[in-house]
């Protein structure tokens, strides 16, 4: 190594030390100071449930005991999925959600490199056989509001770390869902989600209060291109797709206002693509009883025993149709 190269390397090292002194690297899970950028502290690392063998050969679900490298889980034997093999890096639980949701919804694009490394390790035996790395696409409307596709960032990093080729635009999403921020929750949208949830609560209450007078109250979670997205289409030069027509919401709303729909009351409906949807109301799904009531110690000792398998996922579910771009 010549003197010039040595000086450049030393300069980069000193620059890194100066940046770390002012803005020290933080744990991806809890924001505690760590040694290197993109790392996890010891507590978060031990709390995360990384998936590793033994696992189902097809879907990758972990097994409690080693039953051989070619074993399949009961679900894959009963209903074989259409894909040949799938792998995941982490079990999706309360601890991993603290990493996944900020990366997906909270502009934490700096997490992409570390998350991709975990994915490369989890898919170690699959990547050498892969021709391409293709991300799950975002619908244009979701991309407009989120400003980036976290799956595309991951695909680029996975391709870089594995020596594969990434093709971020091979798939195109044509279906999107209406706003579910109040139904499922969405990172960074407290005000918006609270307003939507308030409409749901108002719908349930008015359906009871006004139902005795023959008045029905239902809520519609619509979907469609709006003035908010006009600038996006102006920049791209594309016209909104047919399923983005707001008029597609009208038939359901019109029918709900008719006498024929007099039996429909207190319902939450929506639209996605060319389909209408209906949402289940919150229901009691668990029961924890003790004669005379509970104290804190009793709750602490029994909560996980009774409710652990009934805890509900938080966050928006975004299914959608995908097809190869022609």
How far, CA to CA in Å, does 302 sit from each of 185, 232, 270? 28, 52, 38
For range 148-165, the mean pLDDT: 91
Q: Could you tell me the end-to-end alpha-carbon distance of the chain, in angstroms, rounded to an integer?
A: 51
**Please, which residues have CB within 8 angstroms of residue 238's CB and are 6 or more apart in sequence?**
none
Contact predicate 252/268, CB 8 Å: no
pLDDT of residue 321: 38
Its pTM surpasses 0.75? no
Q: Environment class of residue 158 by beta-carbon count within 10 Å: exposed (0-12), middle (13-18) or buried (19+)?
A: buried
Q: Establish how many alpha carbons lie within 13 A of residue 165's alpha carbon, considering only the half-sphere containing its beta carbon.
A: 5
Is 192 labeled as catalytic in the residue annotation? yes
pLDDT of residue 319: 38
pLDDT of residue 103: 85
Domains of the chain (ranges plus CATH)?
A: 181-284+313-324 (3.40.50.720)
pLDDT for 104-143, tens place per residue? 877 788 889 999 999 999 998 888 889 999 998 887 766 7
pLDDT band at 325 (very low <50, low <70, confident <90, very high): very low
How far, CA to CA in Å, does 63 sit from each of 45, 57, 72, 74? 21, 10, 10, 11
For range 41-59, the mean pLDDT: 90
Residue 88 has pLDDT above 80, yes or no: yes
More confident call, 311 vs 95: 95
For range 304-310, the mean pLDDT: 81
Run of H or E residues at 188: none
Between strands 171-173 and 165-166, the pairing is: unpaired
**Please, which residues have CB within 8 angstroms of residue 234's CB and are 6 or more apart in sequence?**
none
Of the listed 83, 192, 276, 279, which one is catalytic?
192
pLDDT for 159-217, tens place per residue? 999 999 999 888 887 765 555 555 666 656 677 778 888 888 899 999 999 988 889 99
Phi/psi at 180 (nearest 5 deg)? -120, 15
Task: Give the Cα separation of 249 and 251 in Å (integer).
Answer: 6
Instruction: State the average pLDDT for the chain.
Output: 80
Q: Is the peptide bond before 116 cis (omega within 30 degrees of 0)?
A: no
Contact predicate 242/231, CB 8 Å: no
Phi/psi at 172 (nearest 5 deg)? -130, 135
Per-residue tokens: 44: 């978060």
Run of H or E residues at 268: strand 268-272
Give start and end residues of each alpha helix (H) in the chain. 3-22, 42-47, 74-78, 94-105, 112-122, 140-146, 150-162, 181-184, 190-211, 230-236, 250-256, 296-307
Phi/psi at 149 (nearest 5 deg)? -110, 110
């Amino acid at each position: 190594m010549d003197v010039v190269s040595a000086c450049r390397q030393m300069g980069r090292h000193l620059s890194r030390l100066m940046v770390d002194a002012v803005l020290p690297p933080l744990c991806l899970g809890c924001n505690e100071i760590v040694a290197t950028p993109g790392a996890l502290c010891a507590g978060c690392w031990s709390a995360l449930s990384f998936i590793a063998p033994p696992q189902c050969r097809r879907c990758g679900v972990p097994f409690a005991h080693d039953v051989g490298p070619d074993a399949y889980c009961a679900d894959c034997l009963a209903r074989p999925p259409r894909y040949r093999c799938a792998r995941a890096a982490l079990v999706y639980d309360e601890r991993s959600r603290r990493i996944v949701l900020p990366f997906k919804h909270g502009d934490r694009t700096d997490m992409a490199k570390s998350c991709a490394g975990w994915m490369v390790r989890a898919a170690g035996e699959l990547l050498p056989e892969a021709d391409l790395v293709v991300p799950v696409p975002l619908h244009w409307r979701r991309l407009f509001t989120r400003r980036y596709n976290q799956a595309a960032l991951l695909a680029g990093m996975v391709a870089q770390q594995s020596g594969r080729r990434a093709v971020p635009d091979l798939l195109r999403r044509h279906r999107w869902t209406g706003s579910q921020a109040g139904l499922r929750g969405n990172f960074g949208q407290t005000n918006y989600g609270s307003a939507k949830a308030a409409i749901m609560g108002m719908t349930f209450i008015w359906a009871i209060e006004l139902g005795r007078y023959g008045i029905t109250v239902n809520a519609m979670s619509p979907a469609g291109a709006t003035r908010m997205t006009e600038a996006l289409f102006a920049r791209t030069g594309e016209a909104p797709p047919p399923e983005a027509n707001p008029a597609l919401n009208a038939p359901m709303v019109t029918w709900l206002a008719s006498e024929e729909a007099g039996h429909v009351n207190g319902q939450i409906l929506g639209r996605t693509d060319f389909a209408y949807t209906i949402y289940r109301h919150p229901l009691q799904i668990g029961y924890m009883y003790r004669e005379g009531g509970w104290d804190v110690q009793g709750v602490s000792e029994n909560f996980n025993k009774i409710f652990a398998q009934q805890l509900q996922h938080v966050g928006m579910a975004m299914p959608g149709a995908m097809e190869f771009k022609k």
